[in-house]
Structure 1
Amino acid sequence: METNAPVSLAVAWDWMEETARSADAAVRGTGSWVPPVAEELVLAARASALSRWYPFTSHNHLRFVDGPAFSMPGAQDDGNELPGSISFDTGGPESGPVFRVWSGLLLRKPDPVLALATPNAVEAVGALVGLLPAHVTDRRT
């Protein structure tokens, strides 16, 4: 097998699910500000129009690019990142999980804009899909 061959989209999503499952297991019961909801979010995103993008996590955000993410074999530095992401945390001391939907690119100017905060992963994914132009999430393109 060629080590520099690009990772397929299906393999990238499978890997993201496994990574999310492992991350959830690592924080479950620890009282971390990062709640064990990464797998829930990844599964919701994979079941949506976001599934045509390569997923990756960065800075506690689920983000998407149009080719293998920078850490995967076959990645290219000139990929296009989806102009939106979903972060997740506990929302403060003693609070439950909160998914935050951001419009714009993380760590770039102008700063991303908070579009929605919700405890529901499916609602957060739907909101992100709704923020994007149709051609970005259209499965036929």
Structure 2
Amino acid sequence: METNAPWPLAVAWDWMEESARSADAAVRGTDSWVPPVEEELVLAARASALSQWYPFTSHNYLRFVDGPAAFWMPGAQDDGNELAGSISFDTGGPESRPVFRVWSGLLLRKPDPVLVLATPNAVEAVDALVELLPAHDVESRP
């Protein structure tokens, strides 16, 4: 792969899985507000209709862009579009248990994102995000 060539979608997902596994290992066994559930969330998203988009994490949110154009990716032109929905994860559940929160809207932009669902189940959160996004944004790949 050329240095300035965009990442193929499968490579982006492979990298996201490895990054999530590393992030989980870094917080496992610590007293962090970030629980070691990022890999679980990424695997659930990759097994869903969300797998057609390029994933990234930011501020403990799993987010998506419609192409390999995000500024941090090789060959990017910063002209990709972020999907207007995301899933956050933290230890804000009962007894400080991990919780996934599904958000409608764009993080750190106006209007503020709206909380749609809070659940301890990554697959449930992914399914809610798939349902939340417009049908033209999330379609099953062949």
Distance 2:53 2:77 in 1: 14
TM-score of the pair, normalised by structure 1: 0.95
1:125 paired residue number: 126
Q: Which runs of 5+ in 1 are unaligned?
A: none
Distance 1:11 1:18 in 2: 11
Kept in 2, the 8 Å contact 1:16–1:55? The answer is yes
- Counterpart residue type for residue 42 of structure 2: V
1:2 paired residue number: 2
Query: Which deviates the most, 73-82 or 86-95?
Result: 86-95
Cα distance 1:120–1:92, how it changes in 2: closer, same or farther (>3 A)?
closer
Residue by residue, what CA displacement relative to the aligned partner does 1:38-76 show, whole Å, maximum 9, x if unpaired?
000000000000000000001110000011232110222
Distance 1:17 1:83 in 2: 22
* Aligned partner of residue 96 in structure 2, secondary structure: coil
Question: What is the identity percentage for the equivalent residue pairs of Structure 1 and Structure 2?
Answer: 87
Kept in 1, the 8 Å contact 2:89–2:100? The answer is yes
Kindly state the Cα deviation for residue 78 of structure 1 after the two structures are TM-superposed.
1.4
Distance 2:93 2:121 in 1: 17
Q: RMSD of the alignment, in Å?
A: 1.5
TM-score of the pair, normalised by structure 2: 0.95
Residue by residue, what CA displacement relative to the aligned partner does 1:62-102 show, whole Å, maximum 9, x if unpaired?
00001123211022211111100000000068410000000
Distance 2:105 2:41 in 1: 19
Distance 2:132 2:71 in 1: 25
Number of residues of Structure 1 aligned to a counterpart in Structure 2: 141
Q: Which runs of 5+ in 2 are unaligned?
A: none
Q: Is the aligned partner of 1:97 residue 2:107?
A: no
Distance 1:116 1:84 in 2: 12
1:43 paired residue number: 43
Q: Is the aligned partner of 1:21 residue 2:14?
A: no
Kept in 2, the 8 Å contact 1:53–1:66? The answer is yes
Kept in 2, the 8 Å contact 1:67–1:75? The answer is no
Kept in 1, the 8 Å contact 2:93–2:99? The answer is no
Kept in 2, the 8 Å contact 1:7–1:72? The answer is yes
Runs of 4+ off more than 2 Å: none
Distance 1:37 1:126 in 2: 17
